Every structure is written in C-alpha cells, then in structure tokens.
Chains A and B, each alone.
Chain A
Amino acid sequence: MAKLFDFEAVLSQLPEILKYLPTTLILAVSSMIIALIIGMLLALIKTKNIPLLKQIAGVYISLIRGTPVIVQLYIAYFGIPMITKYIYQQNGWNYQSSTTSGFVYAIIALSINESAYIAEIFRGALASVNVGQIEAASAIGMTYFQTFCRIIFPEMLSVALPGLGNSFIGLIKGTSLAFVCAVVEMTAQGKIIGGRTYRYFEVYVSLAIIYWVITFVIEQGIRLIEKKMQIPDQVAKVEISEDERGV
C-alpha cells in the first residue's frame, strides 16, 4: 500500500523546485525596485500636495489596494496585449501576438500592486522627518533635491525599513501567483511535479519550507540593516591632534 505521506519526496523534490528559485527572486527583486521608485514618487506627490497629480495618485492607490493581486495579474496578462493590439490596428501596423513573455506582465502587475502599499509606507515615513531639519538645510542653501537625497531620504529610510521588509516578504509570496501569466517559478514547478507524481500535498509542504527559509533569511537581513542604520548609543570623545585642529 502506498504511504499516506511520503516524507522522502518532500526532501527529494526540493532541488527540482529550487531550480526555479532564481525566477522567483528575479520576479520579486525587479518588481520591488520598480515599486520602490513608483512608490516614492507617489508619496512625494501626496506629501507635496501637487494638485491634480495628487488626486490621480489617490485614485491609483485606492484602486490597486482595493483589488486582489491575482485579478491584477490576469488584467495585465490579457489586458496589455489587447491594448497594444488595438494601438497596432489603429495605426495599421503588423501585430505579432505573444512576442512578450508572461514574465514581463507578471513584473508589471506585481510592481504596480506593490507600489501602492509602498507609497503609503513612504508617505508615513516622510511625515516623520522633522520639518526643522529641512528648514535648516534650506537655510544653509541646499536645494530641495539635495536636502531630499542627503537629509530626508536617509532619515525616512530607517522609519520605512520595517514596513518595506514586510512588503518585500509579501511580494515574495505574491510571486507564487505569477503562474497565471504563464511564468514557471517555484510554485508553478511544484504544481508540475505534483501533476506528474500525484503527490500534491508533499509538493506544497516542500514549497512551504522553501518560502519560509527565504523569508527567514530576509528577516535577518533587514534586522542587520536596521542595526547598522541605528545611531549608536554611546560614542567616546575624540582626542584631536594639534595639527588637525588647525591651531
């Protein structure tokens, strides 16, 4: 009689699933980078109260946060080709279908989804930066761009970091839905293995282990960065040599 639970299979199929770990990571990291940029822009638009753009940002964030990722993935996968096809037809160009891989659509959908959440994290972090320091930087004669890069951003980052870590972990798990865009990443590969062996349960246990390990590593990484960014509690006074004092 076949075993009820094949623990060996859980371990033995790990390498086969891990072959797709790079796909998962590339999906997550590239989506995260794009999301960080869009999120930062959205947060700045909202904080600086730029008319019109601010309303657009509000609708965008509300819309994206109000719909499930899987729906967004489907919309990106089917919708974007439809739009391009329409544009091509309007201009009388020759349209060749399926030239873009599903990977691109998955990144588009995931980064757009993530950007809405990151925008809110950044907005909160921006609000936490003491206005006085920004004034002090202006009084020195720094431009807003300089102030942003050198004063505001480093400070908001330490506030935003825990939230960003959370977001990134969510995103890693979000990539498991990318199969709807015909992307074979770890979860999709697991389903393929399951289809072959009918050991679906074991596959999902393997996947759970892998995702948990990845998340654990990220958590530790973030903790390390947070520690690095913290201002030390105590610093020793320095002895400065005579020539350094310029006496």
Chain B
Amino acid sequence: MLEIKNLSKSFHENKVLDHINLKIEKGDVVGIIGPSGTGKSTLLRCINQLEIPEEGEAVFGGKTVDLSKKHKDSLEFRKSTGMVFQRFYLFEKKTALENVMEGLMVVQKKSKADAKAIALKELERVGMASWANHYPKHLSGGQQQRVAIARALALKPELLLLDEPTSALDPELVGEVLETIKNVAAEGHTMLLVSHEMNFVRHVANKVIFLDGGHVVEYGTPKEVFTNPQNERTKEFLRKMQLLNEPEYVI
C-alpha cells in the first residue's frame, strides 16, 4: 500500500536517515524501535512532510509522491495520513469535541451537524464522549492523547502515524492509551508506530523495524526480531532492554 524509497534526511552534518526503503501492506501495524536519536520520529515526520527530506519518494495508492519538495499532491497525500504526537498537540482554545470536529469541517468540508455526529462517535470510541465539552487544559495527559487519537481517526486516514504516543505520559496513564491503540489496531487500521514500549510493540505489531544509525538494521515479524535477532546491534539493544525488565536480584 505504501512504499518508501530512498528516504534521506540530514540535520546539518548529521545524517539521520540514510536511504531508507520500506514497504507496508494494507492492515499492517509496523512497530519502529531503536535507540534514541536514530531517526524514528524523523522517519514518520518525513512521511507526512512535517519535515522535508533531501530525497525520497512515497508510492501510495498507485501514485508516486516526491517527498523532497512541497507540491500540489503534498496536501492530498497528507490528508490520507493521520498523526498522533508524543505531546498530543491538541488545539488549546478548542474543546475536545471541537478538536475532533476541526478537521472534519475545515478539511473534509462536512456540515457542522455531520461533523459533530462523527466526532461524538469517535470520542465515544476512545472513551472520552462525556468529556466532549472540556478544554485540553482540563484533561490529563492520557485523556488528551485519547482525544488526539480520536482527532486523527475521525478523518479516516488510510495510514496512521503514531510518534511515541505514550512517552510523555505518567506511567499509570500509559495503560489507557495503549489499550486505545490496541483497539484501533484490531479494527484493521494500517499503522506506523514508534514506541519505546517493547512489550506493547511485540503484541500489537505484525512487523517490526529496528532502526539504527539511519538504517533499517532489522525487519521482520515481532517473533523474528525479538526472539531471534540477526544483527549484532539489535541483539545488544534488546539485551539492554531485557536487563531493565529483569529483577535486580532473585531470592
């Protein structure tokens, strides 16, 4: 469904993504893992052109889009993707309901009544319907993120990009957001998920990418990547992660 070809992005001297190639089928939930600073977020941001890469193109729905510059198709391509940010980025001056309605009305040109009906349904799905008239500042981090997920899903994106959706949350709020994402994934949405929650990625994703130094170092099913990694870097990374999960001592 989506194919990324030759995606490269540098910030000054620092090459963050180095000729990345990636293929995603419809219904795939692709987990992207890797050490900090390896361009996981940048990869997502380049796909919907929040960041403009030096080179790279996307083949999407039979159409080839040049990602390295903005043009007519950029906006259309962006409309078919949805994004969930690490820091939620809800519109502060709008209520939860208005946040979800915004794209429906402004981008999809739906009537106010239609937009409201859809928005309420989406809020209901993430369990936030009774908070519809609350402003972001009234909501906890987890609640804000659920509204943000509803905002992205309301537009029926063909591809959902999730950029570390739980990294800015208190540990006890992580659960509700992961639960929401799990439900969304179960509905068959195509998703690209950057996350540090290894266990979650392992359970929700059907493909896992290990990114290191701007390269796709490992690509396979969660089972392949997590239990039988081929690459030395992956092994080391997972070992360190495992270490964190192991008890410090056993009696």
Contacts and interface: CB of A to CB of B under 8 A. Distances in A.
Interface in B61-103: 75, 78-79, 81-83, 85, 87, 89-93, 95, 102-103
B173 interface: no
Given A139-B78, A237-B130, A237-B131, A246 B124 contact: yes
Contact of B135 (A155, A232, A244): A232
Contact of B133 (A133, A139, A238, A246): A238
A67 interface: no
A136 B92 contact: no
B85 A136 contact: yes
A48 interface: no
Contacts of B155: 140-141
A150 interface: yes
B120 A142 contact: no
Interface residues of A, number: 31
B205 to A, nearest CB: 22
Interface residues of B, number: 37
Given A232-B135, A235-B135, A246-B120, A141 B85 contact: no
Contact of A136 (B89, B95, B106): B89
Contacts, number: 97
Nearest to B121: A246
A234 B132 contact: no
A151 interface: yes
A154 B94 CA distance: 10
Contacts of A150: 102, 106
Interface string A135-157: 11111111100100011001100
Contacts of B89: 130, 132-133, 135-136
Interface in B36-74: 48, 50
A142 to B, nearest CB: 6
B120 A245 contact: yes
Interface string A216-242: 000000000000000110111111100
B192 to A, nearest CB: 13
A246 B117 contact: yes
B32 to A, nearest CB: 17
B107 A142 contact: yes
Contact of B130 (A130, A141, A240): A240
10 interchain residue pairs of minimum CB distance? A141-B79, A132-B89, A139-B83, A136-B89, A140-B103, A141-B107, A246-B121, A231-B135, A237-B130, A141-B78
